[in-house]
């Protein structure tokens, strides 16, 4: 995903419109894996390894407001978790 289509400089995450349309998203960078679940809020999950989120031991989990500003906070949080890797 290019920076023109990604919301993050570090992770491949679609723009907010993708999530405002009700979609979930998951990805990874090396051993760092993440998932964004869409519901009343945006829930970000992180873990290490190649297992899917249903099988993995989730290390971090945080809910964010389902809005542009909540989405931007979530991106920053995910990037911080990656850098703590």
Domains in the chain, number: 1
> Does residue 68 lie within any of the structural domains?
yes
b/e per residue, 4-19, with b = 16+ CB within 10 A?
eebbbeebebbebebb
Confidence of residue 2 (pLDDT cuts 50, 70, 90): very low
Average pLDDT score, the chain = 92
* Residue 2 within a domain: no
Q: Is residue 6 part of a domain?
A: no
For residue 17, what pLDDT is reported?
94
Please state, in angstroms and as integers, the Cα–Cα distance from residue 60 to each residue in 5, 22, 45, 50, following that order: 25, 22, 6, 16
pLDDT of residue 37: 97
| Residue at 26 is within a domain | yes
User: Residue 30: is its pLDDT beyond 80?
Assistant: yes
- Is residue 10 one of the residues assigned to a domain? no
Q: Which domain holds residue 76?
A: 16-83
pLDDT cut 90: percent of the chain above it: 87
Q: What mean pLDDT is predicted for residues 1-25?
A: 83
Burial 52-71 (b: 16+ CB within 10 A, else e): eeeebeeeeeeebebeeebb
- The answer on pLDDT for 4 being more than 90 is no
Q: Alpha-carbon distance 34 to 61, whole Å?
A: 10
């Amino acid at each position: 995903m290019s920076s023109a289509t990604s919301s993050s400089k570090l992770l491949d995450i679609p723009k907010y419109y993708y999530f405002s349309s009700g979609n979930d998203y998951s990805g990874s960078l090396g051993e760092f894996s993440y998932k964004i679940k869409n519901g009343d809020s945006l829930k970000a999950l992180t873990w290490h390894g190649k297992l899917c989120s249903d099988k993995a031991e989730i290390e971090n989990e945080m809910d964010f407001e389902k809005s542009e500003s909540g989405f931007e906070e979530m991106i920053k949080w995910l990037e911080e978790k990656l850098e703590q890797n």
